Amino acid sequence: MNSLNLASPLAPHIQNLIELRQLCGKDYRSQAKLLTYFDRFLVQENVKKAHITRQIIECYQRTLSHLTPRSQANRFCVVRQLCQYLALHDVDTFIPEPMKRISADTAHKPYIYSHLEVQSLMNGALALPPVGSLRPYTYHTLLGLLYSTGIRISEACNLNLESFHADKQCLYIAQGKFRKARWVPLHDSTRQALAHYIDRRLGKKPNAPADPLLLHRHGRRLCYSTVYYTFRHLLDQCGITGPTHTNPRIHDVRHTYAVHRLLAWYQDGQDINARLAILATYMGHVDIRSTQLYLRPTAELLGHVSDRFHDYYLRTVDSKGGTL
């Protein structure tokens, strides 16, 4: 992975660790990116030796203080893995203790967008400059896909033109999280919207089947950093701020999809427990526990839960001949 542009004295060791992890069959791309931050820190601190000390680790921890607890833990975890790897050859390498487990109270609380807020964001996307370019339609389509399918932002950015199978009314996610491939069925309205976007998209190059479906205005694949700043602009434009100390994120659209899907099932009188496994598969989760993390209580959702429990209670009391 030469594209990482590692430059510190530990660069060869970092490269070796990444390659070793990948040879073991692990998708180590996200961890590799986190290691580049540590490599950059070493360069900025003018570290001259390929040796990690307690002082280096403590100094690096202080530079992470502006991040959320979960982001701090993720960056620190891969650095600790690097220390453990280096200790195999350098017994004097300092290996820090693991960071404490992040509690639910300190973890980021997802923001659940309302239907009106989602519509506002999509309308705002259509007004993005430059006028007459593909860019407004790209972001309008991106937001629509995220909200109607619940796919990850990374999966959306990695879609190719050949990923859309109009005849099957599906998207094919070739490599999701943990390198899992899956088919994602589309609602007919989503299929039509995506087909209309592709009609416009095919007028721009590159447009071979293996080329990006969602195209940057400079003819490249959309990347997360570009999407992040554009989404922040749309949030500001739409006046969506969230509660105190909570910054709505584009990943929260995936949380919103899960909550709204659950709400629709409650409204339709569906068996929620039976359908959670379907939702987990659809969202590309390894098991149902990952899906449960996406299900956040909202006032509307809790109202339906309360009504269903009340109806169940009344039926149970009546069947036993009781009175209220």
CA–CA dist 324, 315 (Å, integer): 12
Show Cβ contacts of residue 234 under 8 Å, excluding neighbours closer than 6 positions: 121, 124, 125, 128, 139
CA–CA dist 253, 236 (Å, integer): 16
Residues with active-site annotation: 152, 177, 251, 254, 285, 294
Q: Look up residue 222 and give its DSSP letter.
A: -
CA–CA dist 126, 96 (Å, integer): 49
Is residue 30 within 8 Å of 36, Cβ to Cβ? no
232 — alpha (psi -120 to 50), left (phi > 0) or beta?
Answer: alpha
Q: Look up residue 175 and give its DSSP letter.
A: S
Show Cβ contacts of residue 7 under 8 Å, excluding neighbours closer than 6 positions: 39, 40, 43
Query: From edge to edge, which strands make up the β-sheet containing 182-185?
Result: 164-165, 170-173, 182-185
What single letter denotes the amino acid at residue 98? Answer: P
Q: Name the E strands within the chain.
A: 164-165, 170-173, 182-185
Is residue 188 within 8 Å of 169, Cβ to Cβ? yes
